[in-house]
Structure 1
Amino acid sequence: MQDYYRIADALGYIKENREKQPSLEEIAAAVHISPFHFQRMFTDWAGVSPKKFLHYISVEYAKEILKKDGASVYDAAYETGLSSTGRLHDLFVNIEGMTPGEYKHSGKGLVIRYSLQNGLFGNYLVASTETGICNVLFYEDKPDEVEAELNQLWSNAIVIKEEDSFHKLVNSFFGNGLSIQNPLTLHLKGTPFQLKVWEALLKIPEGSLQSYSHIASGIAQPTAQRAVGTAIGQNPVGFIIPCHRVIKTVGGIGEYRWGTARKMAMIGWEAAQHVPQTP
């Protein structure tokens, strides 16, 4: 799993040197490993070569996907409860919203358990209530910062560092090819508008991309693109609620709460699993 961080460094280098079109040798040198080792490590992680992966995170590819995935695709997508069509085909996600009192008082009366884990896209903190998962927060090398963030999000709850069955389910999800048999319940603190946006994100099939304007139209609020963008940026459950699948209308990858390199990795990895490979 630690291979992800070298891959993320490589993606960051590629992004910064995009105009120069760096070679495999230059990218490998930037992350301090041999070209042979980098090629093998990258292919083992992504399932495709670095060259093909770069195609999947290019502006041209993003524009191609956005044109192909029009309103009819979105409207025909699975109802809330089914996250995707590929490796996540059996991952059912049900959202349970907090009560108004729990939302207003930052989880007063709730007991929240959390643990620190490592998965396909690096380190993450997973937290849950007795009802379901309330947070999946990615972090780099400072767990104390993400723990402080969790405590700030749930300032009135009882927060305990202790792994529970929900955490093991998420760990299995990230560790076993992103495919699990059991339903996943999310217990989320958000406004009705935020919950509606997060539910809309669950309808975007894995390997697809949508624009902010498309999401706004999908929830029948086409003029609320800015508010939609804010709600997406406040997604409390990384990757499982796939906010990384939303990009700018012009095809740019855009920013990401947990780093642009991680978003590039997620988009490219998913595309690699769903695009037919040519010999």
Structure 2
Amino acid sequence: MDTLSDQSRSYIEIERAIAYLRKQAMAQPSLSEVAVVLGVSVSHLQRTFSNWAGISPKRFLQFLTKEHARQQLRQSQAVLQTTIEVGLSSPGRLHDLMVTTEAMTPGEVGALGQGVTVNYGEANTPFGRAMIGWTSRGICNLAFCDDGCEAWIKELAAEWSAATLSSNDREAADLAQRIFAKPSLDKPLHLLLRGTNFQIKVWEALLSIGSSQLSSYGALASAVGSPRAQRAVGSAVAANRIGFLIPCHRVIRESGEIGQYRWGSDRKAAMEMWEAAQSALVE
């Protein structure tokens, strides 16, 4: 596997390949066809995929089919419901072991970060550059940046308008290593959640969807006790400010369609495929 810097550079090509394959899914294009579209050799594309995901392009692309997605949904629904029923302390899932959460109070939200220092920085990830924001109490933002992170930094500043903002790319890079390269069960990441009670309930339920598992909006709504509130659940998923760590990318449509994503549906597909590949490596 490449370093995060290498993976970040490779991601641009990977995303273009995924975008093309999604558009041409019915035609089942070969690897050589994809290589021609990208303007690279087959061997280069083979090497890029293998270094980025850790498995061959052929195996990787199997994870991109709707049938695979629907199969994953069927396998994951019961798991999600059981996990919600018995609580987030259940064993066997990635995120509840490496992530802990704390919700801000309405008073803290209203204070707009007065007296708080919010650190932020840019870092490489397997899905391109990202902006990470954090306070002494935990990570509060993780956004992926296609054309620079300035817009996301401005959004962070607006959310914490009374706080002191401090740039720290070095610590952001260290956090990215802990998130994407070296998750630690001994030193879990702490997240600081800022949202309504319903949003926080949905985000905490998202943490119960294990790595390489998928859920539908309907299943997620049922899991939080609001089976008729799929639209509200969808809005809560879309409002998530902490990409990847709160895995809203694992929620898809019942049809197997990827659906929308705050940081682009092709990136969402890439995340799902990357996680499936990581799981395949340890099978």
**Above 0.5 in TM-score?**
yes
2:202 to 193, 197, 206: 197
What percentage of residue pairs aligned between the two structures are identical?
41
Matched, 1:36 2:43: yes
Structure 1 vs Structure 2 CA RMSD: 2.4
Letter in 2 for 1:63: R
Partner of 1:121: 127
Partner of 1:65: 72
Deviates more, 1:256-265 or 1:94-103: 94-103
Partner of 1:219: 224
Partner of 1:142: 148
Letter in 2 for 1:106: L
Partner of 2:26: 19
Q: Deviations over 1:50-81 (max 9, x none)?
A: 22222212111111111122335531478436
The alpha-carbon deviation at position 218 of structure 1 amounts to: 0.8
Letter in 1 for 2:18: L
Partner of 2:237: 232
Once residues 14 and 104 of structure 1 are traced to their aligned partners in structure 2, the CA distance between those partners, rounded to angstroms, is 45
Maintained 8 Å contact 2:54/2:278: yes
Going from structure 1 to structure 2, the CA distance change for 1:99 and 1:89 (only over 3 Å counts) comes to closer
Deviates more, 1:96-105 or 1:114-123: 96-105
Once residues 170 and 41 of structure 1 are traced to their aligned partners in structure 2, the CA distance between those partners, rounded to angstroms, is 21
Q: TM-score normalised to the size of structure 1?
A: 0.89
Once residues 237 and 83 of structure 1 are traced to their aligned partners in structure 2, the CA distance between those partners, rounded to angstroms, is 23
SS in 1 for 2:140: strand
Q: How does 1:4-15 map to 2 (within 5 A)?
A: 4-15=11-22
Maintained 8 Å contact 1:82/1:91: no
Partner of 1:266: 271
Deviates more, 1:119-128 or 1:153-162: 153-162
Q: TM-score normalised to the size of structure 2?
A: 0.88
Letter in 2 for 1:140: D
Going from structure 1 to structure 2, the CA distance change for 1:123 and 1:83 (only over 3 Å counts) comes to farther
Maintained 8 Å contact 1:128/1:135: yes
Maintained 8 Å contact 1:201/1:241: yes
Once residues 158 and 209 of structure 2 are traced to their aligned partners in structure 1, the CA distance between those partners, rounded to angstroms, is 30
Once residues 281 and 122 of structure 2 are traced to their aligned partners in structure 1, the CA distance between those partners, rounded to angstroms, is 35
Once residues 42 and 167 of structure 1 are traced to their aligned partners in structure 2, the CA distance between those partners, rounded to angstroms, is 23
How many correspondences in the alignment?
275
Deviates more, 1:244-253 or 1:163-172: 163-172
Question: Where does the alignment leave 5 or more consecutive residues of structure 1 unmatched?
Answer: none
SS in 1 for 2:88: coil
Going from structure 1 to structure 2, the CA distance change for 1:276 and 1:189 (only over 3 Å counts) comes to closer
Once residues 60 and 156 of structure 1 are traced to their aligned partners in structure 2, the CA distance between those partners, rounded to angstroms, is 48
Question: Where does the alignment leave 5 or more consecutive residues of structure 2 unmatched?
Answer: 1-6
Letter in 2 for 1:246: V
Deviates more, 1:165-174 or 1:27-36: 165-174
Once residues 95 and 223 of structure 2 are traced to their aligned partners in structure 1, the CA distance between those partners, rounded to angstroms, is 22
Letter in 1 for 2:148: K
Q: Deviations over 1:222-244 (max 9, x none)?
A: 11111110010111111011111
Which structure has the highest helix share of the two?
Answer: 2
Partner of 2:98: 92
The alpha-carbon deviation at position 21 of structure 1 amounts to: 2.0
Letter in 1 for 2:110: K
